[in-house]
Structure 1
């Protein structure tokens, strides 16, 4: 087949480009577009031969889009307007304007692309922006399927539930199309097994793992030990017992100076209760966000490197100790942040993926927190062409 001419919108550090490579579909990225200067530095470092346009999408005219003569669009629009943590401004959020511009341009292109792949956060599927997107591609003649998928379904020990849509310009439905359903697993082409979809209540939310409430002692709120419900403990145990998922140790760096990644003592004591702690032998970790390394709550798991120390014993013994002694006990766990390279590994970036030296640690975490899982997108691209 003739190599596809691919337009990569909101290219970031190149997760979509990497997924396209991994899919082995013959293709050339004719242009990547992103306004983030730091992300563009990383993109250029990893894809030096790709035309990278450092400008807003609204700054590109219909004529310029036509000249690129692309037949596939890969895109991961800003997720902040739809995220559960944000204000959920949807179409009213200024960060949605570039995507609305794409929807305005799409039907007016001289030649419509044949394929579209889109990624966003869970929550996009219930937005009015999504409704407008669906209406636009339906009017253009696309057949499409929506998904909510996490890398754990590919054996990767990291929860990162995301919305995906694949679309193809054709009159016949896709072989795996399930009209009106958001599928919760990859299509089994030719399989008789029914797909799980977003109506299956037990699969619609990403697990929130390991958060507890601080205890009250003599009316004073203190962080003494990790409180978890039986349900939370069971869920962790269940995830760690799933042999179809690999262990975290397969994704860790070796021969690195880990001292710079250890959690500072004061931070340890202050946030002891809400840390999501995993060991190298665990088969789970929570979603890493752009605030990882700067924030604790909900930003991602931390790694216990002293595997012979029992975490329960440490936490149970804290209540009778002074603040200094508590810190001393917690330091025995040798808790550290995952390195940017380890997070990139969990996100499916290949070993040769890297950062220019001038990109700071904070910037690396931020860029990866905004990225996507390469393996998940690669499998969806393959599915679209099977």
Structure 2
């Protein structure tokens, strides 16, 4: 029997290639025929990783004819999240950063060869936006079935708290294996069983429960000594932002300076190698202290202690250090093999990975 040709895939908002890497890891026979991203640094990393430079430019300039020429079977889309974040203005489709995604939805309705499958990813909050309503309306018009999820790496045993919205869409002629959850928003896919006592209909999982089944952070660190020193880095000239604390100090390694701990230690999210959770890393990690990511205890033979029980003198003894792309990349992509470019600053890589 002749092997069918691989799916032709378009990757929108490609960043450094997380979607492409996941697609390759899935084992599906597929070929990314084009990627699109406006960020030149992200495209540099993408090209380094995959030998293919994405089409750089504003997606809003694309036409239905431009997309028809690829005759792609599937589209991967991770549009800008800023219009939907809980910390943002939540302007949804009125935010200029949402315009390109809305343009893509409009183009789909005018194409001669629209995609047969879509995979859309975004922040929690997208699911209650008017952009989400437009997405479902377009997919319904084009006779797609949808299955929607809010999932976190914690549900897959990865100690990283980062819930995200996902939408799977297929044209009606291509059935989902479990059609009973079509047109539903679930917080646990029915195929996922982390606990044998949990029923398949238990769609709302508590993160504290998930922590029990997570692997410790230690399992996701590089093999080097946890307390080692790495490349030098200078951090300075950062301005204060909403409820954030700028790191205005220079350091010759990734150790958290003592003066920073003394001033802002109580605001840090401190994790141990044995911890089974760390908070979400953001693009402001390594620039601001509060709410941007966790810091790691490197002093050995210390048992985890709740931060509220730590005295300041104890904080100084923890040997706190920042996560780096080498240490944190498994949290970003749930994989140890993702090849980061060594030519870019760590915070740039984390920004696009996270």
Structure 1's consecutive aligned runs of 4 or more residues displaced over 6 angstroms after TM superposition are none
1:1-386 matched pairs, under 5 angstroms: 1-48=4-51, 50=52, 52-171=54-173, 174-177=176-179, 178-188=181-191, 193-197=199-203, 200=204, 203=206, 235=208, 242=212, 244-255=213-224, 257-258=229-230, 260-309=253-302, 312=305, 318=311, 326=312, 329-348=314-333, 350-369=335-354
Mapped contact 1:72–1:114 kept (Cα < 8 A): yes
**2:83 match: secondary structure:** coil
Instruction: Identify if the C-alpha distance between structure 1 residues 141 and 263 changes in structure 2 by more than 3 Å, giving closer, same or farther.
Output: same
Instruction: Identify if the C-alpha distance between structure 1 residues 109 and 332 changes in structure 2 by more than 3 Å, giving closer, same or farther.
Output: same
**2:326 match: secondary structure:** helix
Mapped contact 1:6–1:74 kept (Cα < 8 A): yes
Q: After TM superposition, give the deviation of residue 279 of structure 1 in Å.
A: 0.9
Q: After TM superposition, give the deviation of residue 363 of structure 1 in Å.
A: 1.2
Mapped contact 2:145–2:182 kept (Cα < 8 A): no
Equivalent residue pairs, number:
322
Q: After TM superposition, give the deviation of residue 312 of structure 1 in Å.
A: 4.7
CA distance in 2, matches of 1:122, 1:276: 21
**1:52 match: secondary structure:** coil
Q: After TM superposition, give the deviation of residue 254 of structure 1 in Å.
A: 3.5
Gaps of at least 5 residues in structure 1 are 208-234, 319-325, 370-386
Q: After TM superposition, give the deviation of residue 194 of structure 1 in Å.
A: 4.0
Q: Which has the higher contact order (CA 8 A, sep 6+)?
A: 1
Q: After TM superposition, give the deviation of residue 284 of structure 1 in Å.
A: 1.3
CA distance in 1, matches of 2:329, 2:190: 26
What residue number does 1:384 align with?
Answer: none
What residue number does 1:229 align with?
Answer: none
Mapped contact 2:49–2:341 kept (Cα < 8 A): no
1:304-363 C-alpha deviation (Å, 9 max, x unpaired): 111434565997574xxxxxxx4x643211011111122211223654433333311221
Gaps of at least 5 residues in structure 2 are 193-197, 231-251
Mapped contact 1:42–1:354 kept (Cα < 8 A): no
Mapped contact 2:160–2:280 kept (Cα < 8 A): yes
CA RMSD in angstroms, aligned pairs only: 2.5
Bigger helix share:
1
Instruction: Identify if the C-alpha distance between structure 1 residues 338 and 313 changes in structure 2 by more than 3 Å, giving closer, same or farther.
Output: closer
Mapped contact 1:239–1:284 kept (Cα < 8 A): no
**2:8 match: secondary structure:** strand
TM-score (norm 2): 0.84
Instruction: Identify if the C-alpha distance between structure 1 residues 53 and 314 changes in structure 2 by more than 3 Å, giving closer, same or farther.
Output: closer
Q: After TM superposition, give the deviation of residue 140 of structure 1 in Å.
A: 0.3
TM-score (norm 1): 0.77
Instruction: Identify if the C-alpha distance between structure 1 residues 314 and 84 changes in structure 2 by more than 3 Å, giving closer, same or farther.
Output: closer
What residue number does 1:215 align with?
Answer: none
Mapped contact 1:143–1:171 kept (Cα < 8 A): no
Q: After TM superposition, give the deviation of residue 168 of structure 1 in Å.
A: 0.6
**2:133 match: secondary structure:** helix
Q: After TM superposition, give the deviation of residue 157 of structure 1 in Å.
A: 0.9
Instruction: Identify if the C-alpha distance between structure 1 residues 257 and 101 changes in structure 2 by more than 3 Å, giving closer, same or farther.
Output: same
**1:30 match: secondary structure:** strand
Mapped contact 2:145–2:171 kept (Cα < 8 A): yes
